[in-house]
Amino acid sequence: MSSSHDDPIGTPSTGGDVSRGDRLRGKAHRGRVYSSALTIGVLAGILIALAASNTRHVRVSWVVGSSSVSLVWLVVGAAAIGWLLGIATMVTLRRRARPKA
């Protein structure tokens, strides 16, 4: 026995006993899935174009020396470090904001 809530897309498997609201919810869910897929595809394309256009090497100066690295890897590394620091900050602030029991 299948109901309209079992189908992940939101369209029921039986066609006769479907209300107008269920059909509209199913269409809205499909629209969100398609728009999310399109957005992810566009962002992936932009990321690939950014990486392809920034392949030259740059000199990075450290406190105790310097090195030469590809610009795209420098940007990816900085983004990863920023993302990890953002997660650590969120965890720290959430822990401090908890009420004491």
Tens of pLDDT, residue by residue over 25-71, are: 888 888 889 999 999 999 999 888 888 888 889 999 989 999 999 88
Distance of CA 88 to the CA centre of its chain: 18
Rounded CA separation 88/33 (Å): 31
Q: What is the dihedral of CA 11, 16, 17, 20, to 10 degrees?
A: 60
Q: Is 101's pLDDT higher than 70?
A: no
- Which pTM value belongs to this model? 0.51
Query: Collapsing DSSP states into helix, strand and coil, what is residue 35?
Result: helix
Question: What tokens were used for 27?
Answer: 């269409």
Q: Categorize the per-residue pLDDT at 6 as very low, low, confident or very high, splitting at 50, 70 and 90.
A: low
